[in-house]
Amino acid sequence: MKMTDLLKITICMALVLLAGCSKPEETNKETIKKVLEQELTAPDKELTEITQDPEKNEKLDQYLEKNYGPYFTEAGLQNFIAAYGGTQYHSYADHSGYKLSFKDVTFEQDESDSNLYTFAARVGYMKSGEEEKTANVEGKVIFSAEEKGQIEAFQYGNDDGLSDILRKQ
C-alpha cells in the first residue's frame, strides 16, 4: 500500500469519527439556527408568489414541507404551521415593504430538560432608503425525545415589537 493511499484512508476515517462525534446539543442548535434563518430572512420571492394566489394551497404545503419538514416531527410541523403558518414574518415584511435579515442567534439549553432550548435571534429590518434597525426575537424550542434532532414544539416569545412594526403599512 502506498503512503498516499494510507494517508487518504486515515483522513477518511478521521472525518467519519469527527462527524459521528458531534454532540446532539450542537446538532440541535444548528437545527434551530436553520429554522430561524428561514423564518427571519424575508421576503422570500417564492413564498410571496405562492401566498398571493389562493389557488396555490397545495404549493404552500409543499413549500412548507420542503423548507421546514426536515427539522420538525410531523406533529411539530403541523403545530408550527397552525401557530405561525411558517410565513408570519415573511407575510408581514412583504406587505409592509420591509426587508428582514437574520444576523445571529444565541442559545441556552435548559438545565433540567436537555430537550428544551431558549433562543434570542438578532434580526435586521429596514425599508428601502432607510437605515437598518435590529430587533431581538426570543423563543423556545423543544426537541423530541424519540426523534432525535427533530423539533417537537417551536414557540416565539418577545420580538422587541418587530411583528407590530412590520404590520404597520
Phi/psi zone of residue 160: left (φ > 0), alpha (ψ -120 to 50 degrees), beta? Answer: left
For the chain, give the percent of residues with pLDDT over 90.
63
Which residue segment(s) compose the domain that 100 sits in? 27-167
> In which residue are the cell numbers 423556545 written?
140
Helices (H), the chain: 3-20, 24-39, 45-51, 57-68, 74-84, 88-96, 162-167
Is 17 inside a domain boundary? no
Average pLDDT, the chain: 86
Is 18 inside a domain boundary? no
Is 93 inside a domain boundary? yes
For residues 105-109, average pLDDT: 96
Is 99 inside a domain boundary? yes
Is 1 inside a domain boundary? no
pLDDT of the residue at 65: 93
- 141 pLDDT above the threshold of 70: yes
Is 126 inside a domain boundary? yes
- 12 pLDDT above the threshold of 70: no
Is 11 inside a domain boundary? no
CATH code, domain with 38: 3.10.450
Number of domains in the chain: 1
| Cα–Cα distance measured from residue 106 to residue 95, given in angstroms and rounded to the nearest whole number | 29
- 19 pLDDT above the threshold of 70: no
pTM of the model as a whole: 0.82
Is 79 inside a domain boundary? yes
- Condensed to tens digits (0 to 9), the pLDDT of residues 26-59 reads 899 999 999 999 999 998 888 888 888 767 678 8
pLDDT of the residue at 87: 82
pLDDT of the residue at 10: 45
